[in-house]
Chains A and B, each alone.
Chain A
Amino acid sequence: MNSVTKNDPTILGMMLNGSTHRPSTSNTWETVYIEMATGEYDHEREILETAGFSTVICAEDKQALDPETPFDSMMGYFDDYGMEVLWDYVDTVMERSPRNRMYLGWMTSTTHMPFMINPEWVEKSYQGFIKDDSEWSSLDRWLNAIRWTDDKVKEIILGFRERGLENETLFIMYPSPLSVQNQF
């Protein structure tokens, strides 16, 4: 799944756009975008590949590896599976010698309807905030989806800290309504 990009991809230019920062050890970027929503939806995979990501991993890729496991919903799989892929990728890049620079994209779709929260997390951490009798009990689930996401952001940042990468990593985070990348 992992790949190496020989040249700076377009996406880096879009994000840095003229920045004077230069790689300290290598000019080779490894670029990956991971999400457990389907890449077919909204042509997500095509857009990301066009943007310059050399590797795009979506729900269809997981299904190709594990055809017996159906999607958890029409959105794809629980984001937790994507987190597993994310850490596999980070650890693989870390083990390479010499180590390349890493551009890691990650999208969480848990906060999108139908707010797919892993049942294990629900069992341990779900909290009842409001009485919502709607079919999806939607607002309460959404608030918990935000909590889930906060947990995962924490896991990512602390995971980089544990690997000694926190101080050499730029974290960029924004919601999908603001993902007009050339606003930067």
Chain B
Amino acid sequence: MLARLSLKHSRGDLSLAMSLTVDAKHETPLTLIHRPVVRVLLLLLLGSLFLPAHPWRHMSSSLLFDIVSTLLSAILSKHLRNMGAQSSTNSHPGTNPMGNLNYNPADDPYYISNLDSPIDSFIAEAIDGLEFTNIVHIVLESMRADSYPFKENGLLAQHIEQSFEKPPNSVPITTSNISPFIASLAENTISWETMWATIPFTHKAMLGRNPPPKKIPTNAQIIADN
């Protein structure tokens, strides 16, 4: 190994090649044993042979394993801290030394002011000419596009139709029974079809979104096709 290294490096770094070559020239198995590091390793190896027998002793129950894993952990931690300190001057909260793989609130549109941006044209048109003194801002937690106003042909209604038994005297699941007031007010509501849940397979996320048209068939379509 040392000889190969000396040949490889001799093209670019003469001094390194010379020293390695000298090492390779004088190293023998007997001289290696006299090295302190090799002695310690041999001692640990010998000691591991006397450990109580169990299937995992070669993996975890040895002093060598503990030393190596502890040293590696300390070296990695120190290295990551150093990288974090070096990048702290130009990073945002939420970034990490490994890059911007994680969620970063600094990039979250929720937290970024758009005061300098022009008002959305749709909203501008909607409130054009309106004069108002007050604003009432209602947030409907966890309410989904299919459910308010309740859509009788929506994904949620299809899911209920396919998956649940209706008792004999159950109330019909209709818009007028679920959300009569908002249905009477809003002939059209807005759905942002490009909004997606970050965890797509939760119950709410599956019910909440509208599938892109003509791309993903609904369960009902799959059943009908088969």
Contact = CB atoms under 8 A, between A and B. Distances in A.
Interface in B154-200: 160, 164-167, 169-171, 173, 177-182, 185, 192, 195, 197
Nearest to A138: B203
A63 interface: no
B54 interface: no
Interface stretch (A54-62, A65-73, A169-177): A169-177
B137 A104 contact: yes
A102 B135 contact: yes
B140 interface: yes
Contacts of B164: 130-132, 139
B142 A172 contact: no
**Size class of the contact patch on chain A:** 35 or more
A106 B171 CA distance: 30
B143 A168 contact: no
A interface: dominant SS: mixed
B225 interface: no
A177 B138 contact: no
B147 A168 contact: no
Given A130-B173, A143-B178, A154-B181, A177 B144 contact: yes
Interface in A124-138: 127-132
B interface: dominant SS: loop
B115 interface: yes
Given A175-B148, A183-B109, A106 B182 contact: no
Interface stretch (B37-45, B69-77, B95-103, B124-132): B124-132
Interface string B111-149: 011110111100110010011111111111111110110
B109 A171 contact: no
Contacts of A109: 141-142
Given A10-B113, A147-B179, A177-B195, A170 B141 contact: no
A181 B110 contact: yes
B181 A150 contact: yes
In this complex, the member of B115, B124, B133 whose beta carbon has the largest number of chain A beta carbons within 10 angstroms is: B133
Q: Which 3 A-B pairs have the closest CB atoms?
A: A182-B114, A175-B143, A154-B181
